[in-house]
Amino acid sequence: MSNTIKVLSDKCIGCGACDSACPFGAVKLEDALAVIDLNQCKFCGSCAQACPADAIEMVKEEKKPAVNKDEYRGVWVYAEQRHGEIASVVYELLNEGRRLADKLNVSLSAVLIGDNIKNKSQELINRGADKVYVFDNPIFIEFQDDSYTSVLTKLIEKEKPEIILMGATNIGRSFASRVAARIGSGLTADCTSLEIDENTRNILQTRPAFGGNIMATILTPNHRPQMSTVRHKVFKEAKAQDGRKGEIVENAVDVSNIVNRTKFLGFIKDTGAQINISDADIIVSGGRGVGKPEGFKLLEELAKLLGGAVGASRAAVDSDWIAYSHQVGQTGRTVAPKIYIACGISGQIQHLVGMNSSDIIIAINKDASCPMMQTATYSLEGDLYEIIPQIISEIKKVRSAT
């Protein structure tokens, strides 16, 4: 539905009530007739309610569906890879994609693009894909937006999937937006939950909005395919089923029709972080309650004893107590370790959305009523500078005894 508004000139009495009522300055009187600037108007209806002559009419126009949605069937996962290695977020998407496909009673497919990459197809089938579309050509040896977008767009136009899932990685964020723009469909970024309305076949895409203060559920009711990017570690990985049967579809590539507007110069790997917190099984994380940068040395000692990594809230990173690469949350990393130890973290929604998939959450905080203490599997009320040294001491005692 879209709104418009118009003035009925045969009814307008030029009283100015609409001009006074408009909070956006969109209504003016010209020659004793109300005139509405549609570029300024927010269609709130204040002017129509104020008009004593019922001379202003709100008009709702029904938009016709842009596509025949019945032609679109199937759930697709873009199988992101770099240098021949499938990104782990792909296995998470295959797990969730399998669930959505089963609800819709359709097949689950993966799209694999790369050079000398066909041998990875069975791996995707083992993780739940019924079909794998493969583009295997030297032109795809490195990810480039133009070439990858060209082949995926053509495949979408030919096969017509109704849902496409991509990882919210550096590649996925760049790639998905270009594909969505090319095919004229919607895209919801950084989803944390996906559900199906089985009556309409719309996917309910939930993501943090307004700085993480609310969770918004977004629909794409009039266009297909529906596209979502999903952050790493939001869903569990699909378990491998060796020998699972599926179809592999090799697609020929006409390189003469692909024009790359950029040139790939080289790949420089980030070696700054010793441990990628997204892959850690145990994370000891600190927040504002740590109070000072020296406090993270205590957290590092505990993390080292447990064989884990150190995380942080945005407040700690913004205070320059620890590097951004350790930040957990909406504007940092999404993690799902087996154990997450939150030290001095109050648990604002922006942080919770980045770690609430952890198997076990242990919170240490003086404030027993804060969100993190309420969310945690185990809550320890008290001063972290008293509690953590005791935990470290007990671990060392057990290890020395064995």
Same-domain status, 237 and 288:
no
Same-domain status, 91 and 236:
yes
Same-domain status, 252 and 183:
yes
β-bridge mates for residue 60, sequence order = 3
Per-residue pLDDT of the chain (402 residues; tens, 9 = 90+): 457 888 998 999 999 999 999 988 899 999 889 999 988 888 888 899 999 999 999 877 655 556 889 999 999 999 999 888 999 999 999 999 999 999 999 999 999 999 999 999 999 999 999 999 999 999 999 999 999 999 999 999 999 999 999 999 889 998 999 999 999 999 999 898 999 998 999 999 998 777 666 778 999 999 999 999 998 888 989 999 998 999 999 998 888 888 888 888 887 776 555 567 888 899 999 999 999 999 999 999 999 999 999 999 999 999 999 999 899 988 788 888 999 999 999 998 889 988 988 999 999 999 999 999 999 999 999 999 999 999 999 999 888 877
For residue 363, being part of any structural domain is answered with yes
364 φ/ψ angles, rounded to the nearest 5 degrees? -120, 115
Domain of 32 in residue numbering reads as 2-61
Same-domain status, 311 and 240:
no
Same-domain status, 190 and 75:
yes
**Nearby residues of 22 by Cβ (< 8 Å), 6 or more positions away:** 46, 47
Q: Where are the beta strands (DSSP E) in 210-306?
A: 214-218, 226-230, 247-250, 282-286
Same-domain status, 89 and 54:
no
Residue closest to 1 by CA, chosen among 279, 294, 221: 221
For residue 102, being part of any structural domain is answered with yes
**Nearby residues of 328 by Cβ (< 8 Å), 6 or more positions away:** 277, 283, 285, 311, 312, 313, 334, 335, 351, 354, 355
Same-domain status, 307 and 175:
no
Q: What pLDDT, on the 0 to 100 scale, is given for residue 106? A: 96
For residue 234, being part of any structural domain is answered with yes
Contact status, residue 379 vs residue 373, Cβ threshold 8 Å: yes
For residue 263, being part of any structural domain is answered with no
Neighbour count for residue 199 (Cβ, 10 Å): 6
For residue 94, being part of any structural domain is answered with yes
Same-domain status, 283 and 150:
no
Q: Output the domain CATH number for residue 308.
A: 3.40.50.1220
For residue 264, being part of any structural domain is answered with no
pTM above 0.85, yes or no: no
* C-alpha span between 52 and 40 (Å, rounded): 23
Q: What pLDDT, on the 0 to 100 scale, is given for residue 275? A: 64
Count structural domains, the chain.
3
Q: What pLDDT, on the 0 to 100 scale, is given for residue 257? A: 81
Whole-number CA gyration radius for the chain: 27
